[in-house]
Structure 1
Amino acid sequence: MTRIKRGVNAKEKHKKILKLAKGFRGRSKNCFRIAIQKVEKALQYSYRDRKNRKRNFRRIWIMRINAAVRSYGLNYSQFINNLKNTNKDINRKSLSEIAIYHPEVLISLIKETVSNKNNITI
């Protein structure tokens, strides 16, 4: 009676893990036992950082908008509040792009949203 050998399955499992570990340093890329640990940790980091990337981009956009708007006598929170009061829905990514590449459009947005234009020097 023949027996069932599972060497093929083990080899496939090892190849899958070692393929994911490609590019790691030291024994992490070629020792299966260590590669399993490193690959699992790397997958945890990648899952976590997919969420963090969104937070980081939002922070960057807010910093850019704040820097651009401060040169016209407003701060970020005042500007966003004025935008909401005038029912202008522009997301922060678009606002930061406008602030960087089209400052004249940003100036017109500020003029439209500010109710008291005496405080603003444009």
Structure 2
Amino acid sequence: MARVKGGPQGHRRHKKLLKMNEGYHATRHKLYRRANEAMLASLWYAYRDRRTRRRDLRKLWITRINAAARLNGISYSRLISGLKKNNISLNRKMLADVAVRDLQAFSKIVELAKTE
């Protein structure tokens, strides 16, 4: 039984993968097998870190909201609780943006959250 090498399609597939790995160091951009290993690892890191980025951003938003809330004499948890009780639906991303860009508007939101 003869070995099947893949011909022009295999060559195209290899060239495509090596093109994806331009800019990599040493054998990771020259040798097909090492390039494939590097590419698979990089795709997995990209997949994983897209989720990690969401986690990190949420942490950042919460930190910013907490800092601004404490300037207005209320803790983060009390602020969120007050917003929920008063049916004010602002997500953390928007709250953090208001806290950073417009402290007066954030103070008004805090006042609404304090009223019961």
**TM-score, normalising length from structure 1?**
0.86
Taking structure 1 as reference, are residues 5 and 49 closer, same or farther at Cα in structure 2, changes over 3 Å only? Answer: closer
Match of 1:119 in 2: none
| Structure 1 residue ranges (4+ consecutive) displaced by more than 3 angstroms after TM superposition | none
Residue segments in structure 2 that go unaligned for 5+ positions in a row: none
Hey, what's the Cα distance between the residues in 1 that align with 2:19 and 2:77?
A: 48
Residue segments in structure 1 that go unaligned for 5+ positions in a row: 117-122
Match of 2:57 in 1: 57
Match of 2:15 in 1: 15
Match of 2:97 in 1: 97
Deviation at 1:45, TM superposition (A): 0.6
Identity of aligned residues (%): 35
Hey, what's the Cα distance between the residues in 2 that align with 1:100 and 1:73?
A: 17
Hey, what's the Cα distance between the residues in 2 that align with 1:32 and 1:5?
A: 14
Paired amino acid for 1:75: S
Hey, what's the Cα distance between the residues in 2 that align with 1:11 and 1:79?
A: 61
Hey, what's the Cα distance between the residues in 2 that align with 1:103 and 1:21?
A: 46
Paired amino acid for 1:76: Y
Taking structure 1 as reference, are residues 5 and 62 closer, same or farther at Cα in structure 2, changes over 3 Å only? Answer: closer
Q: Count residues with an aligned counterpart.
A: 113
Match of 1:43 in 2: 43
Match of 1:113 in 2: 113
Paired amino acid for 1:42: S
Taking structure 1 as reference, are residues 59 and 5 closer, same or farther at Cα in structure 2, changes over 3 Å only? Answer: closer
Taking structure 1 as reference, are residues 9 and 89 closer, same or farther at Cα in structure 2, changes over 3 Å only? Answer: same
Hey, what's the Cα distance between the residues in 2 that align with 1:42 and 1:5?
A: 27
Is 1:77 paired with 2:82?
A: no
Deviation at 1:109, TM superposition (A): 0.7
Q: Which has the higher helix share?
A: 2
Match of 1:120 in 2: none
Alignment root-mean-square deviation, CA = 1.6
Deviation at 1:5, TM superposition (A): 7.1
